[in-house]
Structure 1
Amino acid sequence: MTDRLKGKVALITGGASGLGANAAALMAQEGASVVVADIAADRGKAVADKLGSAGHFVKLDVTSEENWKAAIREAVDKFGALHVLVNSAGIGLSKTVEEIALEEWRKVHAIDLDGVFLGCKHGVAEIKKHTHRLGGSIINISSISGIIAGANMAAYNSAKAGVRLLSKSVALHCAKSGYNIRCNSVHPTFIDTPILDKYRDRFGQEVMQQKLGRQVPIGRLGRPEEVGWALVFLASDESSFMTGSEVVIDGGISAM
């Protein structure tokens, strides 16, 4: 532990698995108190339990405004403040604009974009109360699909691109308001997390890694910690002059 996040309290949505769970472990390792928020209670509690006294679980449906209010209130009741919000909860859907049903479109946007909006709205309102000593940071997990489109990713492209510009708007609002809260978006490509399970189930682990890895100039999938350490940096005061930025972690895809 190097205490890069000592004294900070972080709330991480989608914390029960994948990038969220990895971020929770790394942030706790670096000295943060971490609220693991997820709709999956059993898995979320297991992640929080591994963090010991630094961890706490709250059940959160990111599409519910009342859930958001309650989760943030519980985080502050438990640890006394809120400094960092990581909006990591999300779902994927591979369908073209002709294939996708309106209900599917709305579900992807409700979780991937509306959930981030609600987190930013209520996160800013709380974090600004606690930034007199430590700077605040909101980190929104978008995707390389929020920058580069795919023919069969209509809803996902739309939602993740929305997260990208929402993050910039939040950053400018906080800066203009003098809140000492930064907001940045993160854009990973294929990371070996449960979000790829549909490909893993279809092809098997080795073939999946080969098929997806061929699309990445570096030649492989990303590892959760390769995103997680970027999240630690953005949560820390090391990134104190960085807001409204997009951190691309894509193995070179966007360079092509």
Structure 2
Amino acid sequence: MPDLAGKVAIVTGCASGIGAATVRRLRQDGAHVLGTDIDEGGAAVCHEARADFARQDVADMALWPAIVEQASARHGRLDILVNNAGIVAGASIEDIDDDLWDRTYGVNIKGPMAGCRAAIAAMKRNPGGASGAIVNIASTSAMAALPGDVAYCSSKGAVRVLTKSVAVHCAKQGYAIRCNTVIPGATETGILDNAEKDIPGLKAAVAATSPLNRLGDPSETAAAIAFLASDDCPFMTGAEMLVDGGAMSIHPGF
């Protein structure tokens, strides 16, 4: 189990699913955590986990400095940022309108970019010099696209390359700030629950795409996030960690 004792973390999209599981896991591993979400349900998750909570729309770039300051000022440092908040659009290239495209990109890529920028500024001020770990959450839909969600897939693809750019920049600047991506496959979250209401049988069909023949549990993705956030992988930066039950490893014909 990673040792995160004394580290200070921010986790976005903490109200449910992977975000909620990550708040619980980082607290379990000893970190001080500030969870954020536009959904006030995040407050209950953080209360139960004995974490702090702040309401945040990650797409509002003006809010990011205050969020980072809230976490770092209380504990004197910032060690971890988990850019987890994300939304699906559910529209193809022929159906999507400008507002839905802009909102999806606002949450899924503008938010992580602004988060990385604000976190790096805070991590550079850490006692002992620039240090920290940023973990961005993408999706297997960034690697094998869904025809019915052009904004989600393309924005998650952008997260993958954002991560690499941030990682290389920090390395070239001599900062001990790592940036990696976790790529979950189909996971038992509220997004799938909602989709199941419109498409009965969807969850079973999605589960069957994994060689393990099941959906992932949010805690399994949270474990990968905790590892990348820890000091156990100091030579990993710009990397991608798949948590997909082998879905991206099998030929679609088999």
2:35 is aligned with 1:36: yes
Q: Aligned equivalents of 2:6 and 2:94: distance in 1?
A: 49
- Equivalent in 177, 180, 188 of residue 181 of structure 1: 177
Which runs of 5 or more residues in structure 2 are unaligned? none
TM-score, normalised by the number of residues in structure 2: 0.94
Q: Aligned equivalents of 2:142 and 2:108: distance in 1?
A: 11
After TM superposition, give the deviation of residue 77 of structure 1 in Å: 2.3
Supply the AA of the counterpart residue of 1:140. Answer: N
- Equivalent in 226, 236, 254 of residue 248 of structure 2: 254
Supply the AA of the counterpart residue of 2:47. Answer: D
2:226 is aligned with 1:228: no
After TM superposition, give the deviation of residue 188 of structure 1 in Å: 0.8
Identity of aligned residues (%): 39
2:74 is aligned with 1:78: yes
User: Residue in 2 aligned with 1:150?
Assistant: 146
Q: Aligned equivalents of 2:55 and 2:78: distance in 1?
A: 17
After TM superposition, give the deviation of residue 40 of structure 1 in Å: 1.4
After TM superposition, give the deviation of residue 134 of structure 1 in Å: 9.0
Structure 1 residue ranges (4+ consecutive) displaced by more than 4 angstroms after TM superposition: none
- Cα gap change, 1:185/1:252 in structure 2, threshold over 3 Å: closer, same or farther? same
Q: Aligned equivalents of 1:151 and 1:44: distance in 2?
A: 31
Q: Aligned equivalents of 2:49 and 2:2: distance in 1?
A: 15
Supply the AA of the counterpart residue of 2:22. Answer: A
Please give the per-residue CA displacement for 1:43-64, whole angstroms capped at 9, x wherever unaligned: 1111111122xx1111111011
Q: Aligned equivalents of 2:129 and 2:26: distance in 1?
A: 19
Which runs of 5 or more residues in structure 1 are unaligned? none
User: Residue in 1 aligned with 2:134?
Assistant: 138
SS at the partner of 2:91? Answer: coil
- Equivalent in 37, 59, 64 of residue 63 of structure 1: 59
Q: Aligned equivalents of 1:237 and 1:135: distance in 2?
A: 11
- Cα gap change, 1:34/1:64 in structure 2, threshold over 3 Å: closer, same or farther? same
User: Residue in 1 aligned with 2:122?
Assistant: 126
After TM superposition, give the deviation of residue 3 of structure 1 in Å: 6.4
Please give the per-residue CA displacement for 1:12-70, whole angstroms capped at 9, x wherever unaligned: 000111111100001000000000111112x1111111122xx1111111011221111
After TM superposition, give the deviation of residue 94 of structure 1 in Å: 2.2
Supply the AA of the counterpart residue of 1:129. Answer: R
- Cα gap change, 1:142/1:235 in structure 2, threshold over 3 Å: closer, same or farther? same
Number of residue pairs matched by the alignment:
250
Supply the AA of the counterpart residue of 1:26. Answer: R
Please give the per-residue CA displacement for 1:214-248, whole angstroms capped at 9, x wherever unaligned: 12221111011110100010010001110000111
After TM superposition, give the deviation of residue 78 of structure 1 in Å: 2.2
User: Residue in 1 aligned with 2:10?
Assistant: 11
2:108 is aligned with 1:112: yes
Please give the per-residue CA displacement for 1:75-123, whole angstroms capped at 9, x wherever unaligned: 1222221100000000012221111112111111011010011001111
- 8 Å CA contact retained: 1:22, 1:228: yes
- 8 Å CA contact retained: 1:135, 1:240: no
